[in-house]
Amino acid sequence: MSGIIGRTMASKRISALNNFLMGSRVFASRTYSSTAKEVTVRDALNSALDEEMSADPKVFVMGEEVGEYQGAYKITKGLLDKYGPERVLDTPITEAGFTGIGVGAAYYGLKPVIEFMTFNFSMQAIDHIINSAAKANYMAAGQISVPIVFRGPNGAAAGVGAQHSQCYAAWYGSCPGLKVLAPYSSEDARGLLKAAIRDPDPVVFLENELLYGESFPVSAEALDSSFSLPIGKAKIEREGKDVSITAYSKMVGYALQAAEILAKEGISAEVINLRSIRPLDRPAINASVRKTNRLVTVEEGFPQHGIGAEICASVVEESFEYLDAPVERITGADVPMPYAANLERLAVPQVEDIVRSAKRACYRSSN
């Protein structure tokens, strides 16, 4: 009976929200097979949204072109037809407006998933993300939960210029009250998005446009509707003994490519997929450094006050005596993203940069 009442209340809340939007003229323990299935990151995100919306009537999606157009990147494909316009809400081009509405809905007990067409546009809504969502639980002495997810592509794509290419991991990672996730693979995307939607706190979910079409093997366990990944836990993508390489999002793939090249030169690199920017898995990072005695950090963001700088601080504070070489920090260039393709490549870390830095940390290069 309580379940029926809960579902009815949730339906009424979403209906009331939809009426408000329209009135405001807003349109716009188990046994698993070991066989892995190839799934794109796009489909992994789509299935995670679909399953969480099916499991919980309080979950709804809102953003620009998420409904009729099925998402700018087709992450919300099919959801409007399945769940209707009361739970898949198209909005005008007003990030500050629909983000504020989403935070208000979360105050009321719903679970909004807010899509930004790019996280660069989240700057229009940062007051609601930081002041309205991130700080509410603390300022209310724990009496208010804000179960909201802000998701969309983050960082560099290709040829979209400075105002569409910035990485916001360090921006949001510095803010108490937020959880910040950055998936790499399809399993990451599926498991972390499910965890984000189920979490009682606001979560910033940083995807990567260039990864949407990439396919990764996903286990039967990860394809189960109950699957989720723990927030705050990194993954060792490749074990090694000579140097630790930390990365997140698209840079994990680059780090793995670099590790393959390094292996041919006799250097065993351990690749750590951070997955979670805040909270940061400091124990996993420090445990790896204490094993390899060397560290290379990789990120797309700007060098000053970046994720790599925070990791360096953690290692210096907790594992300094284990280091056999200075920490190598690889970042994007300290300039707004150039539009020209040749300059854009120079502004973003490349595989050869990781190889060069790892060899330098292992005293195998004079460069």
Which amino acids are annotated catalytic? Answer: 95, 164
Q: Could you report how far apart the first and last alpha carbons of the chain are, in Å?
A: 70
**Which residue type occupies 204?**
V
User: How large is the angle between the packed helices 41-55 and 186-198, nearest 10 degrees?
Assistant: 30
Q: Which three-class secondary structure state does DSSP give residue 221?
A: helix
Region of 156 (left: φ > 0; alpha: ψ -120 to 50; beta: rest) is beta
CA distance 260 to 265: 9
Is 88 exposed, middle or buried (CB count within 10 Å of its CB: 0-12, 13-18, 19+)? Answer: buried
CA distance 245 to 108: 42
266 and 260 Cβ atoms separated by less than 8 Å: no
Q: Which of 278, 293, 184 is closest to 233 using CA atoms?
A: 278
- 35-67: b or e for each residue (b if 16 or more CB lie within 10 Å)? eeeebbbbbbbbbbbbbbbeebbbbbbbbbbbb
The token pair that represents 292 in the structure block: 């390899």
Q: Which three-class secondary structure state does DSSP give residue 143?
A: coil
* Strand-by-strand arrangement of the 295-298 sheet: 235-238, 269-273, 243-247, 295-298, 328-330
Give Cβ neighbours of residue 328 (< 8 Å, ≥ 6 apart): 295, 296, 297, 357, 358, 360, 361
H/E stretch holding 247: strand 243-247
- For the chain, give the number of residues: 367
Sequence-ordered strand ranges (E) for the chain? 37-40, 59-63, 88-90, 111-115, 149-153, 179-181, 203-207, 215-218, 235-238, 243-247, 269-273, 276-278, 295-298, 328-330
190 and 47 Cβ atoms separated by less than 8 Å: yes
